[in-house]
A and B are shown apart, each in its own frame.
Chain A
Amino acid sequence: MINSGDTAWILMSAALVMLMTPGLALFYGGMVRRKNVLSTIMMSFALLALIAILWVLYGYSLTFGPDAGGIIGKLDWIGLRHVGQEASSVYATTVPQLAFMIFQAMFAVITVALWTGGIVERTKFSAFLVLAILWFTFVYCPVAHWVWGHGGWLAKLGFLDFAGGSVVHISAGMSALALALLLRPRKGYKEGEPMEPSNIPMVMIGAALLWFGWFGFNAGSALASGGLASSAFVATNCAAAAAAITWMILGWIYRRPSVLGIATGAVAGLAAVTPGAGFIPPLAGIPIGIVAALICYYCMVLRAKGNIDESLDVWAVHGMGGIWGTFAVGIFASVAVNAAGANGVIHGNPMLLAKQLAGIAAVGAFAFVVTWILGKLVDVTIGLRVKEEEEVVGLDISQHGERAYGGISP
């Protein structure tokens, strides 16, 4: 039966998660050079439109439609057939299925947008759009079905991912890494040319919007308003805060407490608490956040030392943050918090950790391999990378015919 409180919260949460994608655009846009600010923003914003359409046309059905062998949803719900104002019998049973559907649409949008951080400043826009459509269809929809679909094989295994630590963050992080390796570094990267962030205040606005929207992402994933949503909300805030402070201190130990650092820390904490938000006691968000900052910080250092130009560290922050957080569910989870979950190691059930590891391995490996294949396919047919002179001039001019900061005269 439809519950008006639950419906209000899910619709609100869908709107909150929607705002994360433009937030991500600003977060990423501020970190690239002046000549590529618009192209970086454009990738996220274009997906906000493109994926939203694909989702209602066939993505929702592939992900949440009637199960086919645990692998994918059938196309019975194509074009939102059978998806209406009544509640679904298996998903979010107290809200109209349309509300659940649009809430999930926003997850699909931001997941595709996340990996754009790995390929900024050198990717041809047309090729990117084709790659995004392929990735959405062949990586996002299957993985989301495995974990969240009714009958998905990871769901049946007992693998727990509350709001997308694996579906969103591990898959985006591993995909960004695969694409960065395929694309090779930006021109001048290996020579040590400075890749100076163009606008750190903009990064901060983006991080703040992400943090804000994440309440819809995690607390909304309770799919009802009430106690569990509140618990997930608090866990989310604890992890973001703990990771932000930890990252600030790390920067301070080596040099200074940096704004770019604290913003990155908050996002790392948010990514890490995502899979556990509704399975762990709220204060477990603090250790999850602290450890997330440590892991992500040193993974970023390691990535830079390896001379891999995964430009905005989607792998280090979201991939590794997501892996840690998904693993941590196996440590901290408690059925006292969520009866639909399971107990973890602390509550006497080490088996959950094994299931979490299986899920991490399956999602991580699948995302990396399939993304690499899809990227290669687009590269040999269309060509993923812009011409060298287009890269030198900048993608804002060469791909979009605009510049972010224009004009010599007033």
Chain B
Amino acid sequence: MKKIEAIIRPEKLEPVRSALAEVGVFGITVTEVSGRGRQGGISLQWRAGEYRVEFLPKIKIEAVVLDDDVGKTLNAIVRKARTGEKGDGKIFILPVENAVRVRTGDEGENAI
């Protein structure tokens, strides 16, 4: 099992969600996050002049998938979240030791 953590542009959430559903990844957790990468922050307007905001709003999608499904999951996210501009985000893949379905108590791959 692997955990996929994808940081993407907020406006790409819906395309990514539907692409994930198409490849059979339904269980996801979505969080509004702030952060920065190489893109850096932006300047916003104050009443006169402006001020700098270092962190931009992003969406973090977390999903735990079977090892065999990692490839198609990554492919779905990258295909839908990419614009080619700075700020498209990052995806991290982490090993997962175990999982438990709260309702039944099922463990391991049966739980995802």
Contact = CB atoms under 8 A, between A and B. Distances in A.
A is bound by B? yes
B53 A301 contact: no
B47 A196 contact: no
B92 to A, nearest CB: 24
A256 B46 CA distance: 11
B52 interface: yes
Interface residues of B, number: 11
B53 A258 contact: no
Interface in B21-59: 44-54
A264 interface: yes
B71 to A, nearest CB: 35
A265 to B, nearest CB: 9
A304 B47 CA distance: 11
A12 interface: no
Contacts of A255: 45, 50
A250 interface: yes
Interface string A192-205: 10111100000000
Nearest to A31: B47
A25 interface: no
A261 B52 contact: no
Contacts of A304: 46, 48-49
Contact of A251 (B45, B51, B53): B45
Contact of B46 (A192, A250, A260): A260
A313 interface: yes
Contacts of A251: 45, 48
Contacts of A250: 48
B40 to A, nearest CB: 13
Contact of B52 (A192, A264, A313): A192
Contacts of B51: 194-196
B47 to A, nearest CB: 4
Nearest to A297: B48
B49 A300 contact: yes
A256 B45 contact: yes
A195 B50 CA distance: 11
A409 to B, nearest CB: 15
A194 B41 CA distance: 11
Nearest to A268: B47
Nearest to A197: B46
Nearest to B41: A194
B52 A194 contact: yes
Interface in A157-214: 192, 194-197
Contact of B49 (A194, A256, A301): A301
A260 B53 contact: no
A313 B37 CA distance: 34
Nearest to B53: A194
Interface string A289-311: 00000000110110010000000
Contacts of B50: 255
A148 B50 CA distance: 40
A196 B48 contact: no
A309 to B, nearest CB: 13
A300 B52 contact: no
A293 to B, nearest CB: 10
Contacts of B49: 254, 300-301, 304
Contacts of A196: 44, 51, 53
* Among B45, B48, B51, B54: residue with most chain A CB under 10 A: B48
Contacts of B46: 197, 260, 304
Contacts of A300: 47-49
Contact of B47 (A192, A194, A256, A264): A264
B7 to A, nearest CB: 21
Contact of B48 (A192, A197, A261): A261
Nearest to A316: B48
A195 B45 CA distance: 11
A194 B45 contact: no
A198 to B, nearest CB: 13
B101 to A, nearest CB: 22
A301 B45 contact: no
Contact of B45 (A260, A298, A313): A260
A197 B51 CA distance: 11
Given A258-B47, A300-B47, A301-B49, 18 more contacts: A194-B54, A196-B51, A196-B53, A251-B45, A254-B49, A258-B45, A260-B45, A260-B46, A261-B45, A264-B47, A264-B48, A298-B48, A300-B48, A300-B49, A304-B46, A304-B48, A313-B47, A316-B48
Nearest first, the 5 A-B pairs at minimum CB distance are: A300-B48, A264-B47, A258-B45, A297-B48, A301-B48
7 contacts: A196-B53, A251-B48, A254-B49, A260-B45, A261-B45, A300-B47, A304-B46
